[in-house]
A and B are shown apart, each in its own frame.
Chain A
């Protein structure tokens, strides 16, 4: 087993363990913290896939923004977060079954695919992926329109979130 594999396995176990805790733990703040651990594991995965840019924006966006926003929302709805009773709904066994079935189906489908065992290719020499990504995102031959649409979407979401959550003074 190479060092790379060892790192992968450790990170995968931590991430998946964290994810399981996210969906099972009762205390929502704890769930959010487990989510952060899990997302951090995913960030490391990006690092393993030689996408350092994604590692960093994963931390910035998911941990720095999304997770903290969630913790805020949990605290703002605190009464609900501490409600007694089950933390899962009545159909949880069906949900679990479906997830399991989906997992088996996905793995089975992957395993029948010829590219399943693709080994890690060498990255092209002398290419700065961040530079390439940046150029692709803003060049007309690349993804400038999707990128702009995504930014408009973000702006719209921003305004929409403010409008929706605005407490109207009656």
Chain B
């Protein structure tokens, strides 16, 4: 029978792939995609813990819903930012957006 370990390892793998995307991709939208993968991994963990550990409480699902809301907000603002940056600087390569240095 299937155990919690399956889901945890799966989520960890998904998280790490997303992390690689966030850290390594040049294009900012691709970075955002990586973040989406990471968030999904987190929600899988929340739901898996709910299902396997405390199916009688709803906390895991409730937090999952909130993560969804945050993800949607993050994408909306993120993409709007990228479009605004693109208009000004004609690039959305993450390593060229470096006004913060020095």
Contact residues of A with B, CB < 8 Å? 2, 4-5, 8, 12, 15-16, 19-20, 22-23, 28, 31-32, 35, 38-39, 42, 45-46, 49-51, 53-54, 57-58, 61-62, 65-66, 69-70, 72-74, 76-77, 79-81, 83, 85-92, 94-96, 98-100, 102-103, 106-107, 110-111, 115-124, 129, 132-133, 136-137, 142-143, 146-147, 150-151, 153-154, 156-158, 160-162, 164-165, 167
Please give, as numbers and ranges, the residues of chain A lying within 8 Å of B27 by CB-CB distance: 28, 80-81, 87
Contact with A along B61-90 (1 / 0, CB 8 A): 110111011111111110111111011001
CB pairs A–B below 8 angstroms (22 shown): A23-B34, A31-B30, A31-B33, A35-B33, A39-B40, A49-B51, A57-B68, A70-B32, A70-B75, A80-B27, A88-B25, A89-B24, A107-B12, A115-B4, A133-B58, A136-B58, A143-B62, A146-B62, A147-B66, A150-B69, A151-B69, A167-B87
Q: Chain B interface residue count: which class?
A: 35 or more
Q: How far is the CB of A115 from chain B (nearest CB, A)?
A: 7
Other-chain residue from A39, A120, A167 in contact with B1 (beta carbon distance below 8 A): A120
| CA distance in complex: A94, B29 (Å) | 20
Q: Assess A65 versus B72: contact at CB under 8 Å? Given A95-B24, A116-B8, A165-B80.
A: yes
Please give, as numbers and ranges, the residues of chain B lying within 8 Å of A95 by CB-CB distance: 19-20, 23-24
Q: Is the CB of B94 within 8 A of A89?
A: yes
